[in-house]
A = this chain, B = another copy of it.
Amino acid sequence: MKTLIVYAHPYDGGFCHAMLKSTIASIEKAGGEVDLIDLNKDKFNPVMDEKDLVGFIKHEMVDPQSIDYVNRLKAADQLVLIFPIWWELMPAIMKGFIDKVFFPGSAYEYKKSGRGMYSLFDNLKATTVISTMNTPKLIYKCIYGNAVQKALMKGTFKKLGFKKVKWFNVSMIKWSTEKKRNKWLAQLDKRFSKKIG
A155 sits at the interface (CB 8 A)? yes
A50 touches B11 (CB 8 A): yes
Which of A69-77, A93-101, A162-170 is the contact stretch?
A93-101
A88 touches B52 (CB 8 A): no
Which of A18-26, A30-38, A139-147 is the contact stretch?
A139-147
Residues of B within 8 A of A62 (CB): none
How many copies of this chain does the complex contain?
A: 2
A1 sits at the interface (CB 8 A)? no
Residues of B within 8 A of A138 (CB): none
Residues of B within 8 A of A46 (CB): 46-47, 92-93, 96
- Nearest chain B CB to A157's CB is how many angstroms away? 10
| Also in contact, A88 and B11, with CB within 8 A (given A46-B93, A147-B150, A150-B144) | no
- Nearest chain B CB to A88's CB is how many angstroms away? 3
Between A92, A145, A156, the greatest number of chain B beta carbons within 10 A of the residue's beta carbon is seen for: A92
What does the 1/0 interface line of A107-133 toward B look like (CB < 8 Å)?
000000000000000000000000000
- Nearest chain B CB to A20's CB is how many angstroms away? 16
List 17 additional contacts besides A11-B53, A95-B95, A144-B155; criterion CB under 8 Å: A10-B49, A45-B47, A46-B47, A46-B93, A47-B93, A48-B91, A87-B98, A87-B151, A87-B155, A89-B95, A92-B92, A92-B93, A92-B96, A145-B145, A145-B154, A147-B147, A147-B151
B150 touches A10 (CB 8 A): no
- Nearest chain B CB to A38's CB is how many angstroms away? 13
| Also in contact, A145 and B156, with CB within 8 A (given A11-B53, A53-B10, A99-B86) | no
A-B interface, 8 closest residue pairs, ranked by CB to CB distance from nearest: A92-B96, A88-B155, A145-B150, A46-B92, A88-B151, A147-B151, A145-B145, A92-B95
